[in-house]
Structure 1
Amino acid sequence: MPREFTLFGVLLPTLLPLFIVSFVLQTVLDRVLGWAGFYRIVWHPSLARLCIFIAIFGALSLSLYK
């Protein structure tokens, strides 16, 4: 996979689309976990949200660059 790609003549790093996809996936998962009541049993909901986002972003990055 290339390190960057062009979008209408602008060079974008490959991690930018992965970041956007991770954000969308985390938002959907956050809604589902909130609806299920997961955040009521978590000590720090904001930290849990951040960790979920980092895990999704890391998994997508590893799948692309490995």
Structure 2
Amino acid sequence: MLAEAAGLSLPTVKRTELETVNVSTDAREKLRAALEAAGVEFIPENGGGPGVRLRHRETRLG
């Protein structure tokens, strides 16, 4: 669960999703770090707005 991975309560994560509610910078940073650790890559605006994508994993041939 994202809340657990970020060390936050579920209500804090839900408030962050609303975007209309003030959530601390610390909580937002924890959520971002948890998502990045799970393989999410945040990408900057490139004309179409900022976004996210899954990070490519290295394929290892054994």
Q: RCO greater where, 1 or 2, for CA within 8 Å and sep 6 or more?
A: 1
Which structure dedicates a bigger proportion of its chain to helix?
1
Give the TM-score taking structure 2 as reference length.
0.34
Give the TM-score taking structure 1 as reference length.
0.32
Structure 1 or 2, whichever has the larger Rg, is: 1
